[in-house]
Amino acid sequence: MRIDKLTTRFQEALAEAQSLALGNDNQYIEPQHLLRALLAQDDGAARTLLSRAGVNVGGLQSALDAAIHRLPQVQGTNEVQVGRDLNNLLNATE
């Protein structure tokens, strides 16, 4: 995956996903982190598209927060890696 081919907003979401993983002591950045970051963007397309599709975005955000909280935690690390599932997802977008 080449970061330079991603939109600025998506790059920002990836950076926020990394921050979420670090803030929750997760060793890997997972799809849950990325979707939560995309939904947190104030004027992001993900929130708008899901809302138009009838998704309860607030409920989805709460479910993502709970899912992130259940991910394995590692103490004492300041580095995270892209998890296998997120890596596969990103590679599928190319």
Do 82 and 14 meet the contact criterion of CB atoms below 8 Å apart?
Answer: no
Rounded to whole angstroms, the Cα distance separating 76 from 86 reads 23
Third-level CATH fold of 3-92? Double Clp-N motif (1.10.1780)
Domain segments of the chain: what residues?
3-92
pTM score, two decimals? 0.92
Q: What distance in Å separates the CA atoms of residue 26 and residue 65, rounded to the nearest whole number?
A: 13
- The pLDDT tens digits of the residues spanning 27-84 come to 999 999 999 999 999 888 999 999 999 999 999 999 999 999 999 999 887 899 999 9
